Structure 1
Amino acid sequence: MAAALPRLAAAEGSGTQGRRAAPDRGRTLLGPALALVHTGQAPTRSVLTGALEVTRATAGAVSAELEALGLITVDSSPAGGGRGRPSHRLSIDPSGPVVTAAQLHADGISVALAGLGGQLEPPVHLPLPAATDPVRLLRAVAEAGAALARASSRRCLGAALALPNPVTEPDGTALAALHFSWPSGTPVADLYAEEVRKADHGPRALSPFPSAVANDANLAALAEHRHGAGRGARHVLLVTSGHRGVGGALVIDGRLHTGSAGLALEVGHLTVDPQGRRCLCGNQGCLNSETDPEALFAAAGRTPDSARPLLAQARELAADPSALPAVHHVVDRLGLGLAGLVNILNPDRIVLSGLHLDLLAAAPERLASVVAERCLWGRSGRVPIVPAEVTHAGLVGAAELAWAPYLHDPQSVLPVGGA
C-alpha cells in the first residue's frame, strides 16, 4: 500500500540556524519534496523551504533536480506579488510521465492515464468481457491501460488496479471476490503483473514495468485524504457504495489502516438489520445489502433498467422527491452503520462517496441525527459527515498506488542505467 507522506526528523543545526544542510546535494529530500508538491502542500519554493526545514539553496537544488527529472515545473516569475523576495511557483509538469490507473466494477471496467497531483486524463469506461475468470478479466484491464499508454505522448511508468473486494497484504490475493465468482485466494497481484508485463505500453514505457493492486475503498480513501475532502484531518473514515455493495477505509495520520493482512474495515458486512435483505456473503441485513443501489430500488419498490448503469440510476432515484420514504429507509440503516463505526474508530471526519454521497445530499439532517443519537457521546460528540470531493476517487487512488515508488524515490523514473 502507498506509504504516508514523509515526515522529516528534526533538523540538525550547524550554522544553518536549525535548518537541515543538504546531504548528497539534497537527494534524500527528493521524495519528501515531490510528495509536498504532489499533494499541493508546497505551491512555492518558499513554502517548500519551510516544510522541509532546509536552506533556501537546498530547496532550490531539490526543486531544480525534480524539474530536471521531468516531474515538476519551476516558474521563476513572481508568485503572489507581495513585498519581499518573490518565490518561485512549483507545479506538476503537465507533460510529465503518467501511470495507468484502472478500476474493476461489478458491471464494468474504468481505466485512465494519471499524472502526479491527482490529475486524471479522461477515463474510458468499458463493459466487462464475456468471460470474467481472473486471467481473462485482468488481461482485458491490462490491455485497456496499455492502449491508452501507447496512444499518449507521455511516458508511462507503471500500472495499478482498484478491486471491489478484499486484497491481502503483502501477497496480493483476492478474498471473497463475490462479484466475479473468483476462487478465494486468487493470486490477483501476480496474475495482473503478468498480464501487464505482456501488454505493449509503447516504446517509451519504463522497463521493468511495475504494477500493483489494492481494494477500491482503501484507494478512494487515500485519494480523498491527499486530494479531496479528507485533507487536513488526522482520522478519516470513508464509506462508499459503488455499483453494488459497500466499502470502507480508515486513514490515520496519513496512513491507511489496513490491519495485519490488508483486510481491515470491511464495513460492508456490518449487520444493521438482522431481518433485512440477504447479502452475497450469506448473512442478512449487512450494510452491503441495506444501503447500496439495489437496496434503494428495493425500498422504493422499483426495478432498475438493466440497460443502464445501476449506480447512475440509483443517484437519480435518490434525488427523486417521490422516493423520499425509500431514501429515509436506507439513510436510517446507513446511520446505524456509521454510528457503530464511530463508536469503535472515533474518526474526526466521515467522508461519504458513491451513492452514499447522494443519500447525504437528500437527507443530511436525518443522517446526522441518526448517527448522533446512536453514538456513545451523543450530539455533543457529533462527527462531521461530508461529501467526497474527488471525481473517480478509485482511479485517483489507484494512481496513488502506482506513483508510490516514485514518490519514495523520484530518481527511479529514470531507465535502469539512464541519466
Structure 2
Amino acid sequence: MSGNTAPGAVGEGSTRTRLDRGRGALGPALELVHTGRAPTRAVLTAELGVTRATAGAVAAELEALGLIRVDARPGAAAGSQGRPSHRLELAEDGPVALAAQVHSDGFRAALVGLGGRIVATAPGCETVDADPAKVLGSVVEAGAELLRKTGRRCVGAGVAVPSAVAEPEGTALNPLHLAWPAGAPVRKIFAECVRAAGITGPAFAANDVNLAALAEHRHGAGRGARDLLCVATGHRGVGGALVLDGRLHTGSSGLALEVGHLTVNPEGRPCHCGGRGCLDVEADPLAFLTAAGRDPGPEVSLLQQANELIRDQYTDPTVRTAVGALIDRLGLGLAGLVNILNPDRIILGGLHRTLLDTDPQRLRAVVADRSLWGQSGGVPILACTLDHNSLVGAAELAWQPVLDDPIAALAQT
C-alpha cells in the first residue's frame, strides 16, 4: 500500500486546520452576522481580519451548528465590482431564547431568535401579583408553552423588570411601580422557575431600559453609535441607560444612570425617591395625562392612553400645552445628561418617542439651548425603532454566552 495520502484526506485535513485556527473567531463571527454587520462572507473576512479560507471554515462551522445559513451560490449586488461573495443569513429555524418582560401594567413572554427576531409571543397578562415568584412562574410557563408548541431549541432565558437590578446578586432594589418587596431576588427566582419548567440554559434578569438600550444598539436606532444614551418612559416612571464603546454601562454594582431622579421642576410633584419634581413623576404617561386634565382609566395601560390622546386630540389646546410642558421637562433632563455624558447619540422610547415624533424641533431646541455640548454642534436625537426592545434585550442576555463561545454554550442546552 502506498504511503501517499489520498487527495480527499488532504482536503479534510487542511479544512480542519483552518477551522482549528479560526475556532476563536466563531463568537466574533456570529456576533457580526447577528448584528447585521457581516451580510456576506467577504465582509466577514475583512471584519475578522482572517484569510478567505479561514472565514469560510468559520462560516461552515456556524452553519453546521444550525445558527446561520451560507448561500451556496455567491452573488454580487447590481453595479458592484470584484468577485461575488456568499451571502450569510441567520437560520430561520435555529435556536431561540425565552424572553420575558414585567411592567406595572402586566407581563409577556416571547421566543426571540438571533438577529433580535421575535419568533413567537404569548398573550400578555394585565395584572401583576405582589408575589414576584407567582408572576415569574406564570411568565415562564407561558414561555415554556411556546417552546412546546414550536419545538424550538432554547439557549436560555432573560427577564426585563422595571427596577434597578443590583449586581452580582440580581436583586430588584426599587420596583417602585410594582407591589413587589424591595430587594426581591428576581434572578434567583426566575432561574428556579426556568429550571422547574424544564428549560435548559442559563437565566438572567436586568433592568428593562438597560435591555432596551442593548437591543437598540445591536439591532435598532442605536446601531453604530459609540456612546449611546437611551431615555424612555413606558408604563410608569422614567428610565435611562448608557452604552459606552459598544458595551452597556451599569456601574460598579448595576445601578448606574437612574435618570428618573434628575430634578427638572423644583416645585413639582413629590417623587418616590424623597425628592420633588424628578423626571420620574414629571415626564411619564401619568404626568402627561394629569397635565392634560384627563383622569386615567382602568381599561388600557397608561402608556396607551397617553399615546392615543396625543394621536387623536393633539389639536386640543390643553393637550398641546401638556405636550409642550413634557417636552420642556424632558429636554431639560436630557440637556443635563448631555453635559455630563457627552453622548454621540440619544434615543428615546415609549411616550418620549411619541413626544419626539410630535414636535421634534421643540425638543431638539431645548436640548441644544440648555446643554454646552448641544450648543457646540448638537447631538442627534432619534426615536427607538424596535417595538419590543426590552423583550429583545432580555433575549440578548441569553444569547450572550452563545455569542461568546457558540460550541461551549450550545453543548449545555
Q: Which TM-score applies when normalising by structure 1?
A: 0.90
For residues 111 and 278 of structure 2, the distance between their equivalents in structure 1, rounded to whole angstroms, comes to 35
Deviates more, 1:268-277 or 1:118-127: 118-127
Is residue 2:171 matched to residue 1:177? no
Instruction: Report the secondary structure of 2:88's partner residue.
Output: strand
Matched AA of 2:208? D
CA distance in 2, matches of 1:370, 1:84: 48
Give the whole-Å Cα distance in 1 for the aligned partners of 2:357 and 2:128.
36
Larger mean CA deviation between 128-137 and 348-357 belongs to 128-137
Query: CA 1:365–1:197 in 2, change beyond 3 Å: closer, same or farther?
Result: same
3-state SS, counterpart of residue 121 of structure 1: strand
Q: Which residue of 2 aligns with 1:67?
A: 63
Partner of 1:298: 290
Which aligned pairs between 1:331-342 and structure 2 lie closer than 5 A?
331-342=327-338
Listed one character per residue, the Cα deviations across residues 247-291 of structure 1 (whole Å, up to 9, x for unaligned) are 100001110111000000110111111211222333221101111
Partners of 1:141 and 1:90 lie apart in 2 by: 34
Matches within 5 A, 1:136-147: 136-147=134-145
Q: Equivalent residue of 2:349, what SS?
A: strand
Is the CA contact (8 Å cut-off) linking 2:264 and 2:279 kept in structure 1? yes
* Secondary structure at 1:76 match in 2: coil
Structure 1 residues 329 and 135: CA distance shift in structure 2, 3 A: same
Partner of 1:168: 166
Match of 2:301 in 1: 309
From 200, 223, 246, the counterpart of 2:215: 223
Give the aligned partner of residue 12 of structure 1: none
What is the deviation of 1:40? Answer: 0.4
Give the corresponding residue for 1:38.
Answer: 34
CA distance in 1, matches of 2:196, 2:127: 19
After superposition, residues 107-118 of structure 1 pair within 5 angstroms as 107-118=105-116
Structure with a larger share of its residues in helix: 2
Matched, 1:105 2:103: yes
Matches of 1:130 and 1:327, distance apart in 2: 29
For the 8 Å contact 2:122–2:143, the answer to whether it is kept is: no
Among residues 361, 364, 376, which one is paired with 1:380 in the alignment? 376
Shift of 1:142: 1.4
Quote the Cα distance in structure 1 between the aligned partners of 2:304 and 2:21: 51
Cα shift readout 1:348-397 (whole Å, capped 9, x = no counterpart): 11001110000011111111111111112453331111111112000111
The TM-score with structure 2 as length reference comes to 0.91
Out of 296, 318, 322, the residue aligned to residue 326 of structure 1 is 322
Q: Distance in 2 between matches of 1:242 and 1:79?
A: 43
Unaligned runs of 5+ in 1: 1-20, 202-206
Identity %: 60
Secondary structure of 1:398's partner?
helix
Distance 1:110 1:152 in 2: 17
Distance in 1 of aligned mates of 2:252 and 2:68: 36
**CA drift at 1:140:** 1.3
5+ long unaligned stretches in structure 2: 1-16
Instruction: State whether residues 114 and 121 of structure 1, in contact with CA within 8 Å, keep that contact through their aligned partners in structure 2.
Output: yes
1:108–1:125 contact (8 Å) kept in structure 2: no
- Once the two structures are TM-superposed, the CA of residue 212 in structure 1 deviates from its matched residue by 0.3
On the 8 A contact 1:129/1:137 being kept in 2, the answer is no
For 1:15, the equivalent position in structure 2 comes to none
- 2:52 maps to what in 1? 56
C-alpha distance in 2, partners of 1:336/1:351?
A: 15
Secondary structure of the corresponding residue to residue 237 of structure 1: strand
User: What pairs up with 1:227-242 in 2 under 5 angstroms?
Assistant: 227-242=219-234
Q: Shift of residue 413 of structure 1?
A: 4.5
Letter in structure 1 aligned against 2:147: A
| Aligned counterpart, 1:210 | 202
AA aligned to 1:197 is R
Q: CA deviation at 1:123?
A: 2.9
The one-letter amino acid of 2:264's match is: V
* Residues matched between the structures, number: 391
Is the 2:347–2:383 Cα contact (8 Å) retained in structure 1?
A: yes
CA shift at 1:125, angstroms?
4.0
Name the SS of the counterpart of 2:89 in structure 1. Answer: strand
Give 1:328 deviation, angstroms. Answer: 0.3
Matched residue, 2:6? none
Asked if the contact 2:129/2:179 (under 8 Å) is kept, the reply is no
Q: Which amino acid aligns with 2:244?
A: I
Structure with greater Cα Rg = 2
Residue in 2 aligned with 1:95? 93
Residues 154-198 of structure 1: CA distance to partner in whole angstroms, max 9, x if unpaired?
A: 211211000110001122111011122323222111111011110
Moved more, 67-76 or 141-150: 141-150
- C-alpha distance in structure 1 between counterparts of 2:333 and 2:191, whole Å: 36
SS at 2:276 equivalent = coil
Tell me the distance in 2 between the aligned counterparts of 1:324 and 1:199: 49
Q: 1:130, CA displacement in angstroms?
A: 6.2
Partner of 2:10: none
Cα pair 1:228 1:390 within 8 Å, conserved = yes
